[in-house]
Amino acid sequence: MISIAKPLIGDEEKQAVLEVLDSGILAQGPRVKAFEEAFATMCGVKHAIATTSGTTALHTSILALGIGPGDQVITSPFTFIASANSILFVGARPVFVDIEADTFNINPDLIEAAITPQTKAIMPVHLFGLSCNMQSIMEISKNHNLQVIEDACQSHGATYHGHKVGSFGTGTFSLYPTKNITSAEGGMITTSDDQIAESCRVIRQHGMRRRYYHDELGFNFRMTDIHAAIGLAQLKKLESFNRRRQKNATYLSNHLQGVVTPCIPPGSEHVFHQYTIRVPDGRREDLMLHLQEHGIGCGVYYPVPIHQQTYYVNDLGYQQSLPESEKAAREVLSLPVHPALSTADLQSIVSAVNEFMSK
């Protein structure tokens, strides 16, 4: 079986975890600090703040920006549920703007029409490893005085015109095992703003600046040194992992037939968290069955856009039509692209897809 995702854990990660276990400092300690510093350097920002997951990184960032009940945040409906749920966690409302057909990312041309007096922020989601159009999004945010929270949970190391994602606004990353790098579970916030960084650190630690003095409501969103040790060892491999993902993606795009392969806009470096094709003419479900019969893992990210999820429709009253997101949900299929694939694996994927599509 060729799996859709595979974390690559080596001796470095194992050794680093053993060292933490021997050190006696298991919760947030020196490894978390070292991981944060290395992550900030990778992103080209002043601060990184480690949390327990991508979801808590998003939740903490939104709180740190002062967003709360009655506020609106513009985001994409074609993403993992955590992007929008994190807006709900603080009592604000996600406002969904449709995506571009070619990149699957939020369409900047549609954002201004969705801005209201309640809008406080835009949350671009850099889906599948590809940056959103950050030039347009940053321009709109400046013109309307809006915050930018980047959901970069799928895009570690991706760049837009030479700048790393997570360095435009407040960045958020997931370190879940299927991601380009992992800490088992974990998240990271990136910012060059001293005040936002300080606020995130306080929220992560029960609103505490001085030990047992609580100035505001906070949470326990601290990463452990065990997770940070894995993350730090993985971060050193990010560049090489991403190169292998890109090489695998190039092979697939050069050889696949009868499907729409991923688009890489000029100026963007795609890091292929997912290699996502479109399967036209209602043939996706049958192609999935065919791939499963040939031992090839694949996945649909995402089968239901968020504005059509049961909770959003029944409990929150969403009734929108967002045609590009709905079409993408019917057509997308992600194929294995992870760094552990062999040349033989790639050849098997190509021949199974091409055999089915040529029928």
Ligand X SMILES: Cc1ncc(COP(=O)(O)O)c(C=O)c1O
Segment near ligand X (CB under 6 A); pick from 3-11, 28-36, 79-87, 303-311 = 79-87
Dihedral over Cα of 12, 18, 20, 22: its sign: negative
Residue number, 79 or 147, with CB nearest to ligand X: 79
What is the DSSP secondary structure assignment for residue 237, as one 8-state letter?
T
Is residue 79 part of the contact set for ligand X (CB under 6 A)? yes
**Alpha helices, DSSP H only, in the chain?**
11-23, 30-43, 54-64, 81-89, 134-143, 194-204, 225-235, 238-255, 284-293, 310, 323-331, 343-357
- Amino acid (1-letter code) at residue 85: N
For the bound state, the minimum distance from the C-beta of residue 114 to ligand X, rounded and expressed in Å, comes to: 19
Residue number, 28 or 53, with CB nearest to ligand X: 53
**Sequential DSSP letters for 247-307:** HHHHHHHHH--SSBPPP--TTEE---SSEEEE--TT-HHHHHHHHHHTTB--B-S-SS-GG
- Read off the tokens for 310: 């049961």
Is residue 55 part of the contact set for ligand X (CB under 6 A)? yes
Residue number, 79 or 308, with CB nearest to ligand X: 79
Segment near ligand X (CB under 6 A); pick from 75-83, 211-219, 233-241, 334-342 = 75-83
The whole-angstrom separation of Cα 28 and Cα 246 is: 34
Backbone angles phi, psi at 125, to 5 degrees: -110, 115
For the bound state, the minimum distance from the C-beta of residue 175 to ligand X, rounded and expressed in Å, comes to: 7
Is residue 272 part of the contact set for ligand X (CB under 6 A)? no
- Amino acid (1-letter code) at residue 171: G
Give the binding-site size for ligand X (rule: CB under 6 A).
Answer: 14
Q: Looking at 83, 105, 183, 274, which residue binds ligand X (CB under 6 A)?
A: 83
Residue number, 55 or 141, with CB nearest to ligand X: 55
Site for ligand X in 120-179 (CB under 6 A): 125, 151, 153-154, 174, 176
Q: State the residue number with the nearest CB to ligand X.
A: 54
For the bound state, the minimum distance from the C-beta of residue 183 to ligand X, rounded and expressed in Å, comes to: 10
How far out from the chain centre does Cα 295 lie? 27
Backbone angles phi, psi at 152, to 5 degrees: -105, 25
Q: Looking at 43, 62, 82, 137, which residue binds ligand X (CB under 6 A)?
A: 82
Residue number, 171 or 357, with CB nearest to ligand X: 171
Is residue 96 part of the contact set for ligand X (CB under 6 A)? no
The SS3 call for residue 71 is coil
Peptide linkage before 302 cis (omega within 30 of 0): yes
Segment near ligand X (CB under 6 A); pick from 48-56, 203-211, 303-311, 313-321 = 48-56
Is residue 187 part of the contact set for ligand X (CB under 6 A)? yes
Residues at the site binding ligand X, with contacts judged by CB under 6 A: 53-55, 79-80, 82-83, 125, 151, 153-154, 174, 176, 187
